[in-house]
Amino acid sequence: MKKQIPVTRSFMPPMEEYIQEIAPIWDSHWLTNMGIKHRELSDALCKLMRVEYVALLANGHMALETAFQALQLTGEVITTPFTFASTTQAIVRSGLTPVFCDISPDDFTMDPAKIEELITPRTSAIVPVHVYGNICNVDAIEKIAKKHGLKVIYDAAHAFGEEKDGINVGSFGDLSMFSFHATKVFHTIEGGAVICHDSQIFDRISALKNFGQCSPENVQEIGGNAKMNEFQAAMGLCNLRYLDEAIFSRKEVVEVYRRRFNGKDGISICREQSGVKSNYAYFPIVIDPGQFGMDRDQLQEKLQSRGIFTRKYFYPATNQFKCYQGMFELQPTPVAKELSEQVLVLPLYAGLTIGEAEKICDIILEKNK
């Protein structure tokens, strides 16, 4: 059977190392509820990201919902439709109304020049998304937020380990959410985190993820169950040891893609961001069917027929979802809509070989030979 190349593949540490990491759990019988592994991972992430507080949660989606609740947001939040379903779903499930801001065609993140026209007396926050590892224009967003007294919560699911001008990406905004899903650059099988800069907000998140309990006999507000368990934390501790190695492996593949696709008719790629230390999370290409000779969907089908799996990530834009029709106003975002119909994310993961990356490029560029 012909070997297939998936669009992504979870990084796995050596089995023996994970077994060694979880062995103490059998002795302690402490499986969840913020045990030793949970505390060790939280401390390690604080050190790595140079931040004061890291709240660990069961997954990135619950981390985002809990962040909104902790900040007591109301009314409207300005966000981007060019994101995974979770971002918008978390907003709506939190009783908030998403107001969709279009994106920049250069880096696919929220366009700061289009934010202020969307602010109303009901606006309480801005929820931008770092996309594919491209970091938002954090300086411009912070300036707007301060001017209008708004909170900023970053969906940083794609940006773990990144820095901008030497500052860890988790340092920006009031809060930043990270996803540690199995396919991310760094994962805890499932998991997520909220980066906090305030002890009171950290304490609120810690209570909210545990049924609102401040102590066993003190439940001050309605919370949920979003705790990261010890087995997840143990996987995170193992994977942290290989983070640099995993990122370097991704970087080698990205360098192949950039070299092969740069300047090719009908294919656009993101420019590298100045001052950003990348984690090489994803590699999107944008297909112009008029110049390329086939559209994005046809290219995806061609690659799949050759055993190479890609992803239309993100398609459709979330303000096109059927579930939101008639619920609230859906602002037009023409840049995001067009991009969602042309973008294709190529295979990229630690362990994808240079030869496999070259093969993918060969197939995509066959018509140009």
pLDDT, one tens digit per residue, over 190-217 is 999 999 999 999 999 999 999 999 888 8
What does the pLDDT look like over 76-118, one tens digit per residue? 999 999 999 999 999 999 999 999 999 999 999 999 999 999 9
Backbone angles phi, psi at 196, to 5 degrees: -120, 155
- Tell whether pTM > 0.85: yes
At 1 the pLDDT is 53
Maximum separation of any 2 CA atoms in the chain, in Å: 71
Each residue of 267-294: b (16+ CB within 10 Å) or e? bbbbeebeebbbbbbbbbbbbeeeebee
The rounded distance, in Å, linking the Cα atoms of 283 and 364 is 14
What does the pLDDT look like over 158-181, one tens digit per residue? 999 999 999 999 999 999 999 999
Render 163-177 in DSSP notation, one character per residue. Answer: EETTEEGGGSSSEEE
Q: State which amino acid sits at residue 312.
A: K
Q: Is the pLDDT of residue 37 over 60?
A: yes
Q: Is the pLDDT of residue 145 over 70?
A: yes
Answer whether 344's CB lies under 8 Å from 310's CB.
yes
Residue 185's Cβ-side half-sphere holds a number of Cα atoms within 13 Å equal to 25
Measuring CA to CA, which residue among 170, 210, 168 is closest to residue 70? 210
Please tell me what DSSP assigns to residue 313: T
Render 209-274 in DSSP notation, one character per residue. Answer: TBTTEEETTEE-S---B-BPPHHHHHHHHHHHTTHHHHHHHHHHHHHHHHHHHTT-TTEEEPPPPT
Q: Is the pLDDT of residue 187 over 80?
A: yes
At 368 the pLDDT is 45
* Strand ranges in the chain using DSSP code E only, listed in sequence order: 53-57, 76-79, 97-100, 123-127, 151-155, 163-164, 167-168, 175-179, 192-196, 213-215, 218-219, 267-269, 276-277, 283-287, 343-346
The rounded distance, in Å, linking the Cα atoms of 243 and 315 is 29
Domain range list for the chain: 15-102+109-240, 243-368
Strands 192-196 and 53-57: antiparallel
Q: Which CATH number fits domain 15-102+109-240: 3.30.300.30, 3.30.70.1450, 3.40.640.10, 3.10.180.10?
A: 3.40.640.10
- Architecture of domain 243-368 in this structure: Alpha-Beta Complex (3.90)
What does the pLDDT look like over 304-363, one tens digit per residue? 999 999 999 999 999 999 999 999 999 999 999 999 999 999 999 999 999 999 999 999
